[in-house]
C-alpha cells in the first residue's frame, strides 16, 4: 500500500538544508578569532547540520523524506547527499539497503570486524570516490578565492570530516560492534533513553535497534519508538 504523502518530512528537510546554507554563508564571512568561543561554536553547529544533511538523505533512502512522492523523495535525497561532500545518492542507496539486508555480515558494506580505525577507514573506502574528491578539491579552490582560507577549512571542510566521525561512531560502529545477544536479529544495540543526547549526538540515530526494527520511521520519530519499546519492557 502506497504511504500517504505528508509535508512534514519535506519541511524538516528544507529547514535542515536552509540552516546549513545560511550558517555556512554567515560563517565563511565571519572574522575568525581563535581566542574567542564563537569559531568553535560555529564549527560544532555546522558539523551538526552536516550530519543532518546525511540523516535526511538516509531518510530518503527509506522513502520517508517525502513519503508517497517518489520523485520528490529522490530529489531531496540527491540534494542532501551532494551537499554533504558531493556524495552520490544513487550510489549510496543500494549500499545502504545491503546494510539492512545483511547487517553485520561479510555482505554488509558498512561492517568490519576490526577496531575503530580499521573499521572507519573501511567505511570510508566504501563511499569515497575519486570524482567526489575531485569535486571537493575544485570547490575548495573556488571558495578560497572568495573567502579567507581558514574560514573555508574551518566551516566548510572540517565540519564534513567531523560529521563522518559522528555518523560512523553513532550510526555504525557503536551499535554494531562486538557480539550481540542471541535473538537480536538486527545485531544492533541502542543508546539508553536520553532524547536530548540522542538528538545532539546523531539525530536520534543512537536509537539504532529501533531504526532497524522500523526503518520506515523518519529520524524525528525514533524517540517515540524508543519510548514505546521501553514502556513495553517496564
User: Rg of the chain over CA atoms, in angstroms?
Assistant: 18
Model pTM score: 0.93
Residue with cell 574567542: 36
Tens of pLDDT along the chain (234 residues) come to 455 667 899 999 999 999 999 999 999 999 988 899 999 999 999 999 999 999 999 999 999 999 989 999 999 999 999 999 999 999 999 999 999 999 888 898 888 888 899 999 998 888 889 999 999 999 999 999 999 999 999 999 999 999 999 999 999 999 998 888 877 888 899 999 999 999 999 999 999 999 999 999 999 999 999 999 887 765
Cell numbers 520523485 correspond to 71
Can you give the pLDDT at residue 47?
98
**219 with 54: CB under 8 angstroms?**
no
CB-count burial class (<10 Å; 0-12, 13-18, 19+) for 155 = buried
- Rounded distance between C-alpha atoms, residue 186 and residue 176, angstroms: 9
Q: Judge whether 226 and 207 are in contact, CB under 8 Å.
A: yes
- In this predicted structure, what is the pLDDT of residue 182? 74
Q: What is the pLDDT of residue 5?
A: 66
| Crossing angle (nearest 10°) for helices 158-168 and 116-127 | 120
pLDDT at 98: 93
The whole-angstrom separation of Cα 161 and Cα 65 is: 24
What Å distances lie between residue 86 and 91, 144, 164, 169, CA to CA?
11, 18, 13, 21
Rama region for 110: left / alpha / beta (φ>0; ψ in -120 to 50; rest) = alpha
User: Where along the chain do its domains lie?
Assistant: 8-180
Number of residues written out for the chain: 234
Amino acid at each position: 500500500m502506497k504511504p500517504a504523502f505528508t509535508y512534514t518530512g519535506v519541511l524538516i528537510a528544507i529547514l535542515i538544508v536552509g540552516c546549513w546554507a545560511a550558517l555556512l554563508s554567515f560563517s565563511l564571512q565571519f572574522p575568525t578569532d581563535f581566542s574567542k568561543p564563537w569559531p568553535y561554536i560555529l564549527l560544532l553547529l555546522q558539523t551538526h547540520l552536516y550530519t543532518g544533511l546525511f540523516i535526511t538523505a538516509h531518510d530518503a533512502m527509506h522513502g520517508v523524506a517525502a513519503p508517497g512522492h517518489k520523485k520528490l523523495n529522490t530529489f531531496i535525497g540527491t540534494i542532501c547527499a551532494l551537499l554533504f561532500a558531493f556524495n552520490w545518492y544513487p550510489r549510496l542507496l543500494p549500499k545502504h539497503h545491503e546494510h539492512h539486508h545483511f547487517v553485520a555480515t561479510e555482505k554488509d558494506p558498512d561492517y568490519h570486524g576490526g577496531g575503530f580505525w580499521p573499521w572507519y577507514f573501511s567505511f570510508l573506502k566504501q563511499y569515497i570516490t575519486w570524482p567526489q574528491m575531485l569535486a571537493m578539491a575544485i570547490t575548495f579552490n573556488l571558495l578560497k578565492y572568495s573567502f579567507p582560507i581558514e574560514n573555508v577549512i574551518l566551516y566548510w571542510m572540517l565540519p564534513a570530516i567531523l560529521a563522518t566521525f559522528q555518523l560512523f561512531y553513532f550510526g555504525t560502529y557503536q551499535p554494531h560492534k562486538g557480539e550481540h545477544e542471541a535473538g537480536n536479529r538486527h545485531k544492533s544495540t541502542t543508546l539508553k533513553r536520553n532524547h536530548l543526547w540522542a538528538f545532539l549526538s546523531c539525530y536520534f540515530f543512537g536509537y539504532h535497534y529501533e531504526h532497524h526494527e522500523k526503518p520506515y520511521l523518519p529520524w524525528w520519530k525514533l524517540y517515540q519508538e524508543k519510548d514505546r519499546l521501553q514502556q513495553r519492557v517496564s
